[in-house]
Structure 1
Amino acid sequence: MTKREIIHKELDALYQDGTKLGVAFQKKEEKQFEYDYQRWYTKALKAVASLAPDRLAEFRAYYEIDPKRKSLGYGTYVIQDFIKGVAPSPLHYSNFDTRSQTLKCFFNQLTILSAVSERIDSVLANIEGELYAEIQDGEIVVARQLSKVSVRAAGALVGVLIEGHLQKVANTHNVKVAKKNPTIADLNDPLKAASIIDTPTWRKISYLADIRNICSHKKDTEPTKEQVDELIQGAEWLTKNVF
């Protein structure tokens, strides 16, 4: 089971638990609701905070009492009021139904939690993208340091980085690549054919591929420091401009 599937499953279980809790509340099982809601709210709060931080304040507002609240009634009554046994004055709200208002707040929380599930894929994709970018930046730094010791080794390392990035770009755009273990050139041409990259970019990548080949394959030709510096700079540009 993938990470996405696990999160979807856990979030669905949390939503189903909330639905059962709402049914129990409608059956007037207050004690059960008060006990189980606190556990459910703690888990749901964390899920919303992680996957939809822009909805967190709204989610919390249906439970927590606003410290700036000046009156208690419709629009200001929250779940925490019900749990504390608080109700508006019957003199001002003779027909105020605390159970109905509590259920309305809880239903709104369930609705937000349901909407959060639609963001799982995009949130995980963003996290993966950020982690991948950090790894690439780290490899660029390592390559620069390595070039002080061995320009050939630094060039070989950056070549692998470029191949990996182009493979990721091809996968993102569903570009088919014939070879199982494609080189930079094997990836560069299909990306140009699919109009993912333009001609100037294709030429730049072709040039980087030539330098990489000197570093990795042509043992009789030693790459220069200037060439490897160009390769590193080109890789850094590529990872930040071609997606």
Structure 2
Amino acid sequence: MKSREKIIEEINNLTITAAEIEELIEIENTKFIFAYQTWYSSALKVVELLAPDRYDEFRSYYEIDPNRKTFGYGTYVIQDFIKNIVPAKIANFDFILRTKNNFNNQHAILLSIKKRANSIIDNINLALLSELQDEELENARKILLVSPRAAGALAGVIIEYHLQKVTEKNNIEIKKKNPTISDLNDPLKNQGIYDTASWRKISYLADIRNLCSHKKEIEPTKEQVGELIDGANWLIKNIQ
């Protein structure tokens, strides 16, 4: 996935270019067609990545519906304009106005993405991170059969990393350079990201993690580490 800065820069460029392209519809059809085709290809990828729920709608303003039964203001699309197709049965059909409306609808979708780009990217990153964490937790369960301490250490790293991402998403400043689970747990609870019950549960997980990560006379049991792994799974599914 592209970096956040590149994605936002691309969205900004597309919204700026859109205003320039719209002016070409009436001035110079050929220039509009070439400029629009380039814009559409880039914009379509952005919508597919950041707003998949609007992807089909975005395409519908451009692509001719193969099942189209009527042809008029409600079904005329930008592809009709590009192919120079006009409804024959409608006198004085304003194809330029309809093309503008379709294009403006696409532009509006892009602007809505621009307004919430950062939060969308954060959600995508968390979703991808969650998938990776699921794989790591499965590895921890396998390691548990051989070494509870090693499995617990891995689960602890997953918890710590996830909490760090949650603090970043919620703009919570952590002054410590290498914060532990406890260092992250208190600020998140104090800022109301989760309640006292969740804070206590994470504190308990931190205690088991410490038992696994530091050499002590007491060895962590398989049951304790199993709780730690299950707790890590609960955390990444419920604390965002």
* Bin for the TM-score computed over the shorter chain: 0.7 to 0.9
Which one has a bigger Cα radius of gyration?
1
* Separation in 2, partners of 1:42, 1:159: 43
Q: How does 1:89-100 map to 2 (within 5 A)?
A: 89=88, 92-100=89-97
Q: Is the 8 A contact 1:45 1:56 kept in 2?
A: yes
Structure 2 equivalent of residue 160 of structure 1: 157
Count of aligned pairs: 239
* Separation in 2, partners of 1:110, 1:230: 50
- Structure 1: segments with no counterpart, 5+ residues: none
Question: Using a 3 Å threshold, how does the CA distance of structure 1 residues 104 and 212 change in structure 2: closer, same or farther?
Answer: closer
Question: Using a 3 Å threshold, how does the CA distance of structure 1 residues 179 and 224 change in structure 2: closer, same or farther?
Answer: same
* Separation in 1, partners of 2:87, 2:169: 56
Structure 2 equivalent of residue 5 of structure 1: 5
Q: What TM-score does the superposition give when structure 1 sets the normalisation length?
A: 0.81
Q: Is the 8 A contact 2:122 2:169 kept in 1?
A: no
Question: Using a 3 Å threshold, how does the CA distance of structure 1 residues 26 and 229 change in structure 2: closer, same or farther?
Answer: same
Question: Using a 3 Å threshold, how does the CA distance of structure 1 residues 203 and 66 change in structure 2: closer, same or farther?
Answer: closer
Superposed displacement of residue 177, structure 1: 4.5
Deviations 1:150-188 (A, max 9, x none): 222222222222222333344444555554323333333
* Separation in 1, partners of 2:38, 2:83: 16
Question: Using a 3 Å threshold, how does the CA distance of structure 1 residues 203 and 61 change in structure 2: closer, same or farther?
Answer: closer
* Separation in 2, partners of 1:173, 1:22: 38
Cα RMSD for the two superposed structures: 2.8
Q: What TM-score does the superposition give when structure 2 sets the normalisation length?
A: 0.82
Q: How does 1:75-224 map to 2 (within 5 A)?
A: 75-89=74-88, 92-175=89-172, 177=174, 179-224=176-221
* Separation in 2, partners of 1:178, 1:36: 49
* Separation in 2, partners of 1:205, 1:242: 11
Question: Using a 3 Å threshold, how does the CA distance of structure 1 residues 145 and 202 change in structure 2: closer, same or farther?
Answer: same
Superposed displacement of residue 140, structure 1: 1.5
Deviations 1:223-243 (A, max 9, x none): 233332232233323333334
Question: Using a 3 Å threshold, how does the CA distance of structure 1 residues 16 and 143 change in structure 2: closer, same or farther?
Answer: same
Q: Is the 8 A contact 1:158 1:231 kept in 2?
A: yes
